[in-house]
Amino acid sequence: SQQGEEDPQALSIQEGENATMNCSYKTSINNLQWYRQNSGRGLVHLILIRSNEREKHSGRLRVTLDTSKKSSSLLITASRAADTASYFCATGEKPTNTDKLIFGTGTRLQVFP
Amino acid sequence: DGGITQSPKYLFRKEGQNVTLSCEQNLNHDAMYWYRQDPGQGLRLIYYSQIVNDFQKGDIAEGYSVSREKKESFPLTVTSAQKNPTAFYLCASRETGGNTGELFFGEGSRLTVL
C-alpha cells in the first residue's frame, strides 16, 4: 500500500534556489526517512527523523515532521545541478517490528545550471 | 568497499521463462529486502528476510520466490506466474530487522519481458 504522497510530483528550479518537497502519510509512524534516486540507479538514504523529533538538519538538507498533520517536508538549500534526482519519503509504521518501510511516489527535481 | 551488488543490470526474458536476479551484500547485515519499482512509481515490497533461512512475503509476493541460504545472498526468482514482470528491481539491506534503520540499496536490475 502506498502511504507517502509527495508533493509536488515534479519541480524545476535554477541553481542556487531552494527546493521544498512535501510528504503526507496516513497512519501512525515511528520514523520517516528521505531517500534520493538518480535516474536508473538505486536509492541513497539522506536523513531519518523520528516521530518525537520536529526538525533535523544534515548539511544543506532540512527536514521537518508534523505528526499532528501527518506530514513532512524536505528543504534543499542553495541547490546545485547535481541535486537533480527523484526524492522519496518512506515511513516506518508502528509497531517497529513490522519490518516495512512504505515509500511514496516521489518528487522529480530538476535543477538547471 | 562494502555494499550491495545486484546482477545482471539488464535482463531480457521471453514470456513463460523464469529468471533469477542476484543480490549479494558484504555489509554483514541481517535483513535483506526486494522491492519493485514501476515507471513514475514508488517502491513496493516483494519479499524480505530478517535472518538466514527465514523470509516473509511483502505486499506483492505473487509470482516471485526467494531463498536466504547465506547471510550475504538473497536471490529473487521471477516466475512465469508473474503477470507483468517488466520493472526495475531493487535489493536492499539493513543492519537489523524492524523499520527504524536506514536501507542500503543496490544499483538495481531492469527486467524486460519480450
Tell me the per-residue pLDDT of B23-69, one tens digit each, with 9 for 90 and over.
Answer: 999 999 999 999 999 987 889 999 999 999 999 999 999 999 999 99
| A83 phi and psi angles, rounded to 5 deg | -80, -10
β partners of residue B57: B47
Dump pLDDT digits (tens) for A33-63: 999 999 999 999 999 999 999 999 999 999 9
Size of interface A-B (CB pairs under 8 A): 76
Does the CB of A101 have a partner CB in chain B at under 8 Å? Answer: yes
User: Which residues of chain B have a CB within 8 Å of the CB of A93?
Assistant: 99
- pLDDT(A1) > 60: no
Is pLDDT larger for residue A27 or for residue B28? Answer: B28
Nearest residue to B99 via CA among A46, A72, A101: A101
Dist. CA A113–CA A96, nearest whole Å: 42
Interface test with B, best of A101, A102, A105, A107 (most B CBs within 10 A): A101
pLDDT-derived band at A2, boundaries 50, 70, 90: very low
User: Grid coordinates representing B82?
Assistant: 508473474
pLDDT confidence of residue A63: 98
Dump pLDDT digits (tens) for B62-114: 999 999 999 999 999 999 988 899 999 999 999 987 767 899 999 999 999 98
pLDDT-derived band at A93, boundaries 50, 70, 90: confident
Which residue on chain A is closest to B101 by alpha carbon?
A48
pLDDT confidence of residue A81: 97
Task: Give contacts of B 3-42 with A, CB under 8 A.
Answer: 4, 6, 31, 35, 40-42
Dist. CA B105–CA B83, nearest whole Å: 25
Number of other CB atoms surrounding residue B53 within 10 Å: 10
Percentage above 70 pLDDT, chain A = 92
Q: What is the 3-state secondary structure (H, E, C) of chain A?
A: CCCCEEECCEEEEECCCCEEEEEECCCCEEEEEEEEECCCCCEEEEEEEECCCCEEEECCEEEEEECCCCEEEEEECCCCHHHCEEEEEEEEECCHHHCCEEECCCEEEEEEC
pLDDT confidence of residue A97: 59
